[in-house]
Structure 1
Amino acid sequence: MTIHTPKAVAGITLPDSTIAKQATELLLEHGTEFLYNHSLRAFLFAALNARQNKIAHDTELLYVGSVFHDLGLTPHYRSLDKRFEVDGANAARDFLHSHGLSPQALQLVWDTVALHTSPGIAEYKEAEVALLNYGVALDVVGRGYADLSEKHRQDIVKNFPRTDFKKTIIPTFYEGFKHKPDTTFGSINADICACMNPDFHRKDFCDAILHSPWTD
């Protein structure tokens, strides 16, 4: 695995506390170079947004959330029956619990990871939750692309390359939850299943209502 570990990128200093270093080690151990680069880009985009808009936040917790946000896709952390976001959130919470962080910090990071694919909700939560949602969306679908300077984009991608991101991210997502497609109901992940599996049939909420056991 070829990785870059710069001290600062685009004017943003990467956290180097014991917690941050150990979180990064877990990402490198259980993730891939592709997920590592994506996670670090998401953090940097989030941190730049915070700086540009003067959003107060806990940088270390935002970093940990960024590092863990896709670890629920990996064989080590993924479950048989939970959404991948919940698997990642549980892993992040367990990791921080082992470091003795407060219940409030544990819940904040859990929400940050669990809600990173929940547009329309995450942006109204705490700063760290909203920031990671922003950073991930910028990297995956380009939301807020025009708000990022060309210099910052080049600096970030130089250090953490996208490596054919558009063609790689969809199968990467699918690989993480293809064994439990029912967990994608009601989320954007159902689009991934539909894209990758022509035999996938989405559950329909209206059908669920009309076929419930109630008589009226």
Structure 2
Amino acid sequence: MCKTTLTTIAGVKIPDSKLAVQATELLCEHGNEFLYNHSLRVFIFSVLNGQRAGLKFDPELLYISAAFHDLGLTPHYSSPDKRFEVDGANAARAFLQSNDVPPAAVQLVWDTIALHTTIGIAEYKEPEVALMYSGVGLDVMGEGYEHLSDEHRNAILAAFPRTDFKKKIIPAFFSGFEHKTDTTFGNIKADVCAYMIPGFKSKNFCDCILHSRWSE
């Protein structure tokens, strides 16, 4: 079932503002239970990481970012030629703009979603951006797993089960950009294509340099 009746999980309050509720409804409408559970775990992990680090952040904007962060993988929001992270960011921007959210907050959410897989940059930006990146890293790759208490881990998984996550997440990623594998050039999702497509070879940056139209 998409959407939880719990209001607080592992000490983290699930935002229930009008915007948060609408974002959840879009996640449930265009995503699925697997994506919903992942997105809510990411939000909670992000908040816990923020609390542990003593960071100040906007929980509502962080929640909306979590709700939209993988919606670019879904048919409804997927473009034919953009990275799925950008598709999700664009969807969130349109949603927030339609609700008259201030431009600075809209841009922050856009960056938070667009950069959530960008290793080496996201962690140095605004707290919301860095925390979303850390929450995704924790859920997908187990980064920071040791900082979760057993109590919190059990509570989160009881509310939002992983349901064979390790086996399902790579095909779930791939389904969102198998029609536009070139968008994975230069980013970690090229590894997904290599895993899912026998003999897949991504574009090569050095080839782009050497085969450019410049004479020297």
User: Given the two structures, how large is their TM-score scaled by the length of structure 1?
Assistant: 0.98
| d(CA) in 2 for partners of 1:17, 1:185 | 38
2:40 — aligned with what?
A: 40
1:61 — aligned with what?
A: 61
| d(CA) in 1 for partners of 2:11, 2:107 | 29
2:167 — aligned with what?
A: 167
- Please report how far the alpha carbon of residue 200 of structure 1 lies from its aligned counterpart in structure 2 after TM superposition: 2.0
Q: 1:3 to 1:58 in 2, by over 3 A?
A: closer
| d(CA) in 1 for partners of 2:48, 2:158 | 16
User: Given the two structures, how large is their TM-score scaled by the length of structure 2?
Assistant: 0.98
Residue-pair matches, total:
216
- Please report how far the alpha carbon of residue 6 of structure 1 lies from its aligned counterpart in structure 2 after TM superposition: 1.0
1:185 — aligned with what?
A: 185
- Please report how far the alpha carbon of residue 3 of structure 1 lies from its aligned counterpart in structure 2 after TM superposition: 4.5
Q: 1:62 to 1:2 in 2, by over 3 A?
A: closer
Query: 1:45-86 CA deviation, whole Å, 9 max, x = no partner?
Result: 000111111100011000000000000000100000000000
Question: Does the aligned pair in 1 maintain the 2:15–2:59 contact within 8 Å?
Answer: yes
What's the secondary structure of 1:187's corresponding residue?
coil
Which one-letter code corresponds to 2:41 in the other structure?
A: R
What's the secondary structure of 2:120's corresponding residue?
coil
2:204 — aligned with what?
A: 204
For the aligned residues, what is the CA RMSD? 0.8
Question: Does the aligned pair in 1 maintain the 2:2–2:32 contact within 8 Å?
Answer: no
What's the secondary structure of 2:201's corresponding residue?
coil
Which 10-residue stretch deviates more, 190-199 or 19-28? 190-199
| d(CA) in 2 for partners of 1:4, 1:19 | 16
> After TM superposition, which residue ranges in structure 1, 4 or more long, deviate above 2 angstroms?
1-5
5+ residue gaps, structure 1: none
| d(CA) in 2 for partners of 1:200, 1:90 | 29
Query: 1:77-117 CA deviation, whole Å, 9 max, x = no partner?
Result: 00000000000000000001011111111100000000000
User: What is the percent sequence identity of the aligned residues?
Assistant: 63
Matches for 1:2-151 after TM superposition, within 5 Å: 3-151=3-151
Query: 1:107-165 CA deviation, whole Å, 9 max, x = no partner?
Result: 00000000000111000110000000000000000000001111111110110000000
